[in-house]
Amino acid sequence: MTISHAVLTTGFLLMLIGIWGMLTQRDILRIIIGFALMGTGSHIVIVAIGYVADGTAPIIDSALAVSDAAGRAVDPIPSALAVTAIVIGLAVTAVMLAFALRLHAAKKTLSIDAFANSKW
Amino acid sequence: MRLAAVVWLLLCLGTVFATVALNFRLRTSLPPLAEAYVEMVPRELGAPNVITGILLTYRAFDTIGEVAVLFMVAAGIGLLLGAGSKTDHVSELQREEPEPSTEIVRTGADIMVPLIALFAIYIMAHGHLGPGGGFQGGAVIASCVLLVLLAKPDYRVKLAQLSVTESLAGVLIVLVGVAGLVFAGGFLDSRVLPAGEFGALVSAGAIPVLSVLLGAKVGCELSVIIERFRA
């Protein structure tokens, strides 16, 4: 059991909680929160996968010389991908919230049951 | 019935996740691609922050795509919540005069907004030296706008100016990219400008320039999104 296992477990648990929330909640805002939780969990998993034993942030400064960077830095690629994932997650969440506002304007409720007979 | 299906799905996913988590072996050395990046970014680009080097040079094309996604989201939210549909979805409650915020929020905003803006500029300008960069700085700028909107409910964000700034930043990013195509190795190659002294504020070629431009663009886009959500 290492720090990576603990962080990975946290991330996966967050993803499961998010999926559970998306599938069982009837309120659109709670479904969106479930989606955001799932996204956060996946970001944590991505970053945890990039960890290298006893690694530090891949930033060259007085604490990390260029010569031993390759031996002591963590994998920078998952971190770079996590930045991308966070931005896209924010974008998707924003669009979902906008749709939720429009749905609320149409039926004056945010319960998903009110939209059960919606046609495509 | 439905609950049973959900529980079954979660159990399956949980099994998969548990298998992955239990079989995960902590790496003791970097994979070859990561090792190449960690060595190449300081040597070739002169940027101490490897992640910014990857985001703004080796994978800068991805970053442009990301900014394009953010732009599309801002445009799409404008379509969904924009001026045309404003009258019919504002409820009676929202149509009243917005309630003025309390003294604490207003005073706090007066003190904090300049500091937050300064911090955002710091994050953007030091993206190649330490943790930070365009996206993070842009998000901090948007938080600044959000605080102003909370403190002064009748404040209108100037959408026209924001869109001009945003388009200008976008055009400049692409121009820097084309300059990389002409004067250096390829599209968005940051080596169009000299690498300079390692670790100095003005160094690492075009990375700080791209970082600040990205920050301006992301900040404008997020501010537009926040303004739209105010209905």
Q: B74: closest CA among B66, A13, B111, A57?
A: B66
Q: Write down all domains in chain A, each with its CATH number in brackets.
A: 3-53+68-115 (1.10.287.3510)
Query: Which of residues B88 and B228 earns the better pLDDT score?
Result: B228
Across the interface, do A52 and B29 touch by the CB < 8 Å criterion? yes
Across the interface, do A66 and B21 touch by the CB < 8 Å criterion? no
Across the interface, do A77 and B43 touch by the CB < 8 Å criterion? no
Question: Would you say residue B33 has pLDDT above 60?
Answer: yes
Across the interface, do A75 and B81 touch by the CB < 8 Å criterion? no
User: Stretch B145-154: mean pLDDT, rounded?
Assistant: 85
Question: Would you say residue B182 has pLDDT above 50?
Answer: yes
Residue A53 buriedness (CB in 10 A; 0-12 / 13-18 / 19+): middle
User: Stretch B11-35: mean pLDDT, rounded?
Assistant: 86
The pLDDT tens digits of the residues spanning B49-96 come to 888 888 888 888 888 888 888 888 888 888 888 765 444 445 444 555
Q: A79: closest CA among A50, A111, A109, A117?
A: A50
The pLDDT tens digits of the residues spanning B202-211 come to 777 788 888 8
- The dihedral sign for the CA sequence A107, A112, A117, A119: positive
Q: A77: closest CA among A53, A54, A60, A58?
A: A58
Q: How far is CA B109 from CA B18, B44, B152, B221, in A?
A: 46, 43, 9, 21
Give residues 18 to 77 of A whose Cβ lies within 8 Å of B: 19-20, 23-24, 49-53, 57-61, 66, 69-71, 73, 75-77
Q: How far is CA A120 from CA A91, A115, A116, A117, in A?
A: 23, 11, 11, 10
Q: B47: closest CA among B197, B210, B216, B184?
A: B197
How confident is the prediction for chain B on average, in pLDDT? 82
Q: How far is CA A113 from CA A9, A25, A109, B78, in A?
A: 33, 10, 9, 27
* Chain B nearest CA to A31, separation (Å): 14
- SS3 label, residue B203: coil
User: Stretch B114-133: mean pLDDT, rounded?
Assistant: 87
Across the interface, do B131 and A57 touch by the CB < 8 Å criterion? yes
Question: Would you say residue A34 has pLDDT above 90?
Answer: yes
The total of other beta-carbon atoms located within 10 Å of residue A71's CB is: 15
**pLDDT at site A120:** 56
The pLDDT tens digits of the residues spanning A97-116 come to 988 888 888 778 888 877 77
Q: Which residues in chain B have their CB less than 8 angstroms from residue A86's CB?
A: 135
Which residue out of A43, A46, A75 would a mutagenesis test of the B interface target, given it has the greatest number of B Cβ atoms within 10 Å?
A75
User: Stretch A53-75: mean pLDDT, rounded?
Assistant: 78
Residues with Cβ within 8 Å of residue A108, at least 6 apart in sequence = B91
**pLDDT at site B1:** 76
In single-letter form, the type of residue at position B7 comes to V
Across the interface, do B6 and A80 touch by the CB < 8 Å criterion? no
- Report the distance separating Cα B78 and Cα A96, nearest Å: 13
**Which residue blocks in chain A are alpha helix, DSSP H?**
3-24, 28-49, 69-72, 76-107
Question: Would you say residue B201 has pLDDT above 60?
Answer: yes
Across the interface, do B26 and A53 touch by the CB < 8 Å criterion? yes
**pLDDT at site B98:** 67
* Chain A nearest CA to B182, separation (Å): 27
- Report the distance separating Cα B190 and Cα B173, nearest Å: 11
Whether the CB-CB separation of B149 and B122 falls below 8 Å is answered with no
Across the interface, do B50 and A83 touch by the CB < 8 Å criterion? no
Question: Would you say residue B185 has pLDDT above 60?
Answer: yes
Give residues 78 to 117 of A whose Cβ lies within 8 Å of B: 79-80, 83-84, 86-88, 91, 94-95, 97-99, 101-102, 104-105, 108
Q: Which residues in chain B have their CB less than 8 angstroms from residue A52's CB?
A: 26-30
* Chain A nearest CA to B179, separation (Å): 24
Q: How far is CA A16 from CA A23, A28, B51, B108, in A?
A: 11, 18, 29, 38
Q: B34: closest CA among A71, A96, A105, A27?
A: A71
Question: Would you say residue B158 has pLDDT above 70?
Answer: yes
Q: Is ipTM beyond 0.85?
A: no
**pLDDT at site B92:** 46
- Report the distance separating Cα A64 and Cα A42, nearest Å: 29
Work out the pLDDT band at A12, boundaries 50, 70, 90: very high
Q: Token digits for B16?
A: 């998969």
Number of Cα atoms under 13 Å in the Cβ half of residue B42:
23
Q: Which residues in chain B have their CB less than 8 angstroms from residue A91's CB?
A: 69-70, 72-73
- SS3 label, residue A111: strand
Question: Would you say residue A70 has pLDDT above 90?
Answer: no
**pLDDT at site B125:** 85
* Of the candidate ranges A7-16, A53-62, A79-88, the one whose mean pLDDT is the lowest: A53-62
Across the interface, do A69 and B38 touch by the CB < 8 Å criterion? yes
User: Stretch B1-14: mean pLDDT, rounded?
Assistant: 88
Work out the pLDDT band at B186, boundaries 50, 70, 90: confident
Q: B143: closest CA among B110, B117, B108?
A: B117
How confident is the prediction for chain A on average, in pLDDT? 85
- Say how far residue A83 (Cα) sits from the centre of its chain: 10
User: Stretch A6-22: mean pLDDT, rounded?
Assistant: 91
How many pairs of residues across A and B have Cβ atoms under 8 Å apart?
Answer: 148
* For A52, nearest residue in chain B (alpha carbons): B27
Question: Would you say residue A13 has pLDDT above 90?
Answer: yes
Question: Would you say residue B231 has pLDDT above 70?
Answer: no
B21, B130, B231 member nearest A9 (Cβ): B21
